[in-house]
A and B are shown apart, each in its own frame.
Chain A
């Protein structure tokens, strides 16, 4: 790979990093790095390290690299070089300041979207290596403050947003009541043991996006689905502990989720439009607990909408008229293979889909996922500057007529809202459910 260019000096103040490093000693750093690299990462990391030929072909995959005029420091391999390789080379004897920089790079300059793994001739999963760095930083107590706070929320409440046990149930009943103004017999069935489906969402929905619960309830009701929602913790499928490297809390949160579904004896868990949560329940959280696959089948919203439309459980009265473009979220498209089903759904409910390019599994990341947006306001410009390429991609789709940007993932949705405003793109960003709710036939 090319020599690293000099990064611009940045002065980001983050108490999670600044205070965190004050408690470090060289002995502790070495001990933790050794523990993770020798005790936890094992053969997988060794294979990646020994296989990488430093060719740099991963660079062109990374939106940070492309958005920073191909600065090699932002290339995937460059980020590994600045973090993990130095830890390995120094056998864990690195400074506290190095750990702080490594944490910032791994947590805020990589969305662990795995696009680079497709560009690597050997398929090396660089995201895994960045998550390994985050794991080390977690064990050293050097994690960006905002996402650390979110991990604390998960630990206490089993949800992402400090939603208390009663607030969750109360919100569901409030949304049920709201929806009954539209469909008087509609119910959000709580704790219905033996239902076919448990519907699961992420913390922000009851906290400040309650309309999504409303929409889901209407869609379920109209489709005649036998469904339920739990009245206990375990309802939230999200997992920022997965992204801070706090694997123990990740496992605890996922155990609560799966055991809640098991207690309700449902056949399947249908989840809302969230990408990272899919990764957590389908890949990382379940596997940390010892399950090769989820113990209860997980159906992402895209897949569920596909099923409802394909099986004629819902009827589209009139397609959405304004031209839309579709952002393919990494975890459910690259990670979950739902690209064509997403297009089936969009084409079924919208008159015109204008593809952005690249698309499907080659789509550019939103720059919010992987926990980066959860690192909070200090890093907003990291995301904006780091995703100019996304703005260009969106602008190109806009110039071909797209007016609505569909992002079927919460983090993508929020991140693209920021990109949209920062670069003045003029899109309206929607979830699929926003449109689906509008266009389905409902009882008059």
Chain B
């Protein structure tokens, strides 16, 4: 795998594939996906009834499958898909299938370096997870909310640990759900367990739990916080000190808690998606400071600008000094960074991406059914049928753009200055 610095950053455009040619070769070509470095474009293709393959840069995999779905490129550039052969499902990586076969396989997850691939699996109605073709030793009668540790070495999911029949509400309310880390459950069972998170060192597992129909809290390694709340949202781990941070609801308002203690001095109509800056010094979250108005709060202080419809995908800059998000009011999208709103409005905008230094902010945008990118509120003058998220060069002075026009997939490297002027 080439690291980002080793990618081709020479400015210019290079056609990688003409997908229209694929369309003459196959019955149909499904939605294309592209590799992170832009050098590959791939799609699931149908050859005949019940015959599917993956086409990468015009070349198909060696094996034909009776069904393929969820084709994605791993961060290391390997194409990965769920494939079915004579009714058995497995994972195919670069055309090679895992040894294990399953009744079904879904929820594909990658580690940031792409080396670890995790999936949820079901065989004979027994549920578990598999990581790089290694299956949990223990299986369960149901599994939800699968997750992968930050380094991709561990998997976890909510699992059902006791049976209950239809209408057995009191058995359910005694608690029949737990969470399994690499297949091993906590000793404690809860009425509900929802999303969980694994600490960076892999030593801790935290999950949002319901103790009875009314009391919610966060459990860490099986032990609930001593404080209970009217509701909670999913926890995160502080990347440096392993503290557990989660939104909690009390008295009809949302607050932010860390290890069970309220850490922000004000409440919100809504508070979710907390995040810690990469340097660990700043805590931010998406909040509704008042009913029907959305913004970002940084260290408990909401930006003065708010949005009516939606605010999503808040991100920190790599140095942790800036925060940006995509936001929508009256059906029109824009980008907001550090509380300052871009002047441009779009039909749709995708999550903003900071340059390595944090000085430049780029996002994929849509206007009138055509796609482009905007950088620091400047819209690039070229439009396409499809665009993937922009990628900054390690120095942040160039942007890799992956575009599709008239079925021609082209890889561009564009100096940031060219877009800004």
Contacts and interface: CB of A to CB of B under 8 A. Distances in A.
Interface of A: 15-16, 19, 39-40, 138-139, 141, 145-146, 148-149, 152, 155-157, 164-166, 169-170, 173, 180, 184-185, 187, 189-192, 194, 231-233, 246, 248, 251-252, 255, 262, 265, 267, 289-293, 295-297
A38 to B, nearest CB: 11
A164 B142 contact: yes
A233 to B, nearest CB: 7
A149 B166 contact: yes
B237 interface: no
A180 B50 CA distance: 10
Given A262-B310, A262-B312, A138 B106 contact: no
Contacts of B166: 149
A290 B169 contact: no
A290 B312 CA distance: 14
A290 B30 contact: no
19 contacts: A15-B167, A15-B170, A39-B251, A145-B167, A148-B169, A149-B168, A152-B169, A156-B142, A165-B106, A165-B120, A187-B30, A194-B386, A251-B231, A252-B194, A267-B347, A290-B288, A290-B292, A292-B291, A296-B310
Given A19-B170, A148-B169, A262-B312, A290 B120 contact: no
B120 A166 contact: yes
Contacts of B168: 149
Interface of B: 27-28, 30-31, 49, 67, 69-70, 103-104, 106-107, 120, 122, 127, 142-144, 160, 166-170, 172, 177, 191-192, 194, 210, 213-214, 216, 230-231, 249, 251-252, 269-270, 272, 288, 291-292, 294, 308-310, 312, 328, 331, 347-348, 350, 386
A248 B194 CA distance: 13
Contacts of B292: 290-293
Given A40-B252, A166-B106, A233 B169 contact: no
Nearest to A186: B28
A295 B191 CA distance: 30
B52 to A, nearest CB: 12
Contacts of A19: 170
Given A149-B167, A156-B142, A265-B348, A246 B310 contact: no
B230 A16 contact: no
Contact of B350 (A16, A164, A170, A265): A265
Nearest to B102: A166
A246 B213 contact: yes
A248 B270 contact: no
B169 A165 contact: no
A40 B386 CA distance: 47
Nearest to A262: B312
A155 B348 contact: no
A187 B294 CA distance: 36
A311 to B, nearest CB: 15
B31 A189 contact: yes
Contacts of B28: 185, 187
A173 B69 contact: yes
A211 to B, nearest CB: 21
B269 to A, nearest CB: 4
B269 A290 contact: yes
Contact of B107 (A165, A252, A295): A165
Most buried by A among B213, B251, B310: B213
Contacts of B120: 165-166
Nearest to B125: A164
Given A148-B169, A189-B31, A156 B309 contact: no
Contacts of A231: 69-70, 106
Given A165-B143, A233-B144, A246-B213, A190 B170 contact: no
| Shortest 7 CB-CB contacts between residues of A and residues of B | A292-B292, A290-B270, A295-B310, A290-B288, A166-B104, A290-B269, A248-B231
Contact of A232 (B31, B107, B328, B386): B107
Contacts of A189: 30-31
A108 to B, nearest CB: 17
Contacts of B160: 156
Nearest to A263: B312
Nearest to A228: B31
Contacts of B269: 290
Contact of A292 (B308, B328, B350): B308
A170 B125 CA distance: 13
A169 B106 contact: yes
Contacts of B194: 252
B148 to A, nearest CB: 15
Contact of B167 (A146, A246, A267): A146
Given A156-B177, A166-B103, A166-B122, 20 more contacts: A39-B252, A156-B160, A157-B144, A166-B120, A166-B127, A169-B69, A169-B106, A170-B104, A184-B49, A187-B28, A190-B69, A248-B231, A248-B249, A252-B194, A290-B270, A290-B292, A291-B309, A291-B310, A292-B292, A297-B331
Contacts of A149: 166-169, 172
Given A149-B167, A156-B192, A166-B122, A138 B70 contact: no
B309 A295 contact: yes
Contacts of A180: 49
A156 B193 CA distance: 8
Contacts of A164: 122, 127, 142
A149 B251 CA distance: 27
Nearest to B311: A295
B250 to A, nearest CB: 11
Interface core residue of B31, B172, B348 (most chain A CB under 10 Å): B31
Nearest to B216: A248
Contacts of A290: 269-270, 288, 291-292, 294
Contacts of A295: 309-310, 328
Given A39-B252, A157-B144, A185 B107 contact: no
A265 B251 CA distance: 33
A362 B34 CA distance: 54
Given A262-B312, A293-B309, A16 B107 contact: no
B252 to A, nearest CB: 7
Nearest to A169: B106
A26 to B, nearest CB: 19
Nearest to A286: B292
B49 A289 contact: no
A318 to B, nearest CB: 30
A165 B144 contact: yes
